[in-house]
């Protein structure tokens, strides 16, 4: 579902003296336009550990109000459990009340537009047989790259990033991030789109950017599936022995031996490093496609077969249980 989102509305005429009394900061900027000094005024409210955590009001020229908030935190106080479709109207009602308390009269939040940032998020419960397999998944996928994204692993390898100017994609250990026992075993995947309108149009083909139309599991699922698919998380993630046996079955021994070397190379080095060593980008992609064609990933895991990361058709807000069958 969606977690952090920026929303905006316009046509508001606020009592700015009241905003200052309630802790809003006035920011005045001056810029030069055609030789004339133009002054703009903005009122900002930042709140720690409260949702929404950011407000911005610009009186001129449109009377625009923007907010940024974590939607699950409105309902639960944290974002370990996410929202389902039935939760969205409840959250938007509560969010409307909170914004009105801080700002004054506003249109209902459901009529506001998604503006700039939207985070599509999902979580899997990666505990089975009394073992936590989150680290196994992170180890597997740290060797994978997304085209046109810079990849890195941080936080003692508890978080993987793929990023560019338009988005930040993250796969991480939720317990390591939030330091709460109830997050144990949750493998979280997030796509933070900083250009929400273009992302949603490209993936979901949406026309209306109103919150009530955008904030659905179907829209979040399309975004998540796009980047999960590019990472190959729907493919079988397997250990080397099973990978080699499967490749021998499909390709014969000689070709399987060559492709096992490809898997080793991708596990040890990033794609950029392999290119710097003399491998051509065209060859690297052809070899990966060969491996993918039989349901394997170039990522390997020494602990054995891991269930693929897939998304449900319907979502109730609770992390989906992974298990070996």
Residue pair 240/246 in contact by the 8 Å Cβ criterion: no
Round to whole Å and give the CA distance between 123 and 67: 25
Which residue bears the tokens 């810079």? Answer: 150
Residue 69, phi then psi, degrees to nearest 5: -155, 155
Entry pTM: 0.81
Using DSSP's 3-state secondary structure scheme, residue 87 falls into: helix
Distance CA 325, CA 323 (A): 6
Tell me, what's the pLDDT at 124? 96
- In Å, what is the CA distance from 41 to each residue of 63, 209, 295? 11, 27, 56
Supply 269's token pair: 């080095």
Q: Please state the φ and ψ torsions of residue 231, each to the nearest 5 degrees.
A: -85, -10
Please tell me the predicted confidence (pLDDT) of residue 324: 66
DSSP 3-state assignment of 106?
Answer: coil
192 neighbors 169 (Cβ within 8 angstroms): yes
Non-local (6+) Cβ contacts of 65 within 8 A are 8, 9, 10, 12, 14, 55, 56, 57, 99, 103, 106
The residue ranges of every structural domain in the chain are: 2-231, 240-300
In this prediction, residue 116 carries a pLDDT of 93
Structure tokens at 219: 């829209």
Could you give the count of Cα atoms lying within 13 Å of 282 in the half-sphere of its Cβ? 0
Residuewise pLDDT in 10s, the chain (325 residues): 999 999 999 999 999 999 999 999 999 988 877 778 888 999 999 999 899 999 999 998 899 999 999 999 999 999 999 999 999 999 999 999 999 999 999 999 999 999 999 999 999 999 988 899 998 888 888 777 787 888 887 766 689 999 999 999 999 999 999 999 999 999 999 999 999 999 999 888 888 999 999 999 999 999 999 998 888 776 666 677 888 898 999 999 999 999 999 888 877 777 778 888 998 888 888 888 888 888 777 776 666 667 888 899 999 888 899 876 5
* Continuous segment of H or E residues that includes residue 114: strand 113-125
Alpha helices in 104-161 (DSSP H): 134-141
Give the CA dihedral 231, 237, 239, 243, nearest 10 degrees: -90
Joined together, the tokens standing for residue 265 give 């190379």
């Amino acid at each position: 579902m969606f977690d952090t989102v920026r929303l905006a509305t316009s046509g508001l005429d606020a009592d700015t003296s009241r905003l200052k009394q309630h802790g809003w900061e006035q920011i005045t900027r001056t810029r030069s336009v055609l030789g004339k000094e133009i002054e703009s005024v903005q009122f900002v409210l930042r709140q720690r550990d409260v949702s929404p955590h950011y407000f911005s009001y610009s009186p001129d020229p449109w009377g625009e109000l923007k907010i940024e908030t974590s939607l699950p935190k409105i309902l639960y106080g944290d974002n370990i459990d996410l929202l389902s479709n039935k939760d969205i109207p409840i959250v938007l009602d509560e969010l409307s009340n909170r914004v009105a308390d801080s700002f004054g009269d506003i249109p209902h939040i459901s009529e506001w537009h998604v503006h700039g940032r939207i985070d599509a998020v999902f979580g899997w419960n990666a505990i089975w047989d009394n073992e936590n397999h989150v680290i196994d998944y992170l180890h597997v996928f740290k060797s994978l790259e997304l085209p046109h994204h810079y990849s890195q692993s941080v936080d003692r390898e508890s978080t993987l990033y793929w990023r560019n100017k338009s988005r930040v994609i993250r796969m991480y250990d939720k317990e390591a991030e939030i330091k709460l026992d109830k997050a144990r075993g949750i493998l979280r995947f997030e796509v933070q789109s900083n250009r929400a309108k273009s992302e949603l149009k490209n993936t979901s083909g949406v026309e209306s950017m109103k919150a009530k139309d955008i904030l659905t599991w179907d829209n979040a699922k399309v975004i998540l599936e796009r980047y999960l698919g590019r990472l190959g998380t729907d493919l079988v993630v397997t250990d080397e022995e099973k990978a080699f046996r499967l490749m021998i079955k499909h390709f014969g021994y000689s070709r399987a031996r060559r492709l096992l070397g490809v898997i080793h190379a991708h596990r040890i080095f990033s794609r950029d490093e392999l290119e710097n060593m003399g491998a051509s980008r065209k060859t690297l992609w052809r070899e990966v496609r060969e491996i993918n064609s039989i349901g394997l990933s170039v990522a390997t895991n020494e602990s054995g077969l891991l269930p693929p990361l897939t998304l449900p058709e319907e979502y109730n807000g609770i992390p989906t249980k992974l298990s070996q069958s």
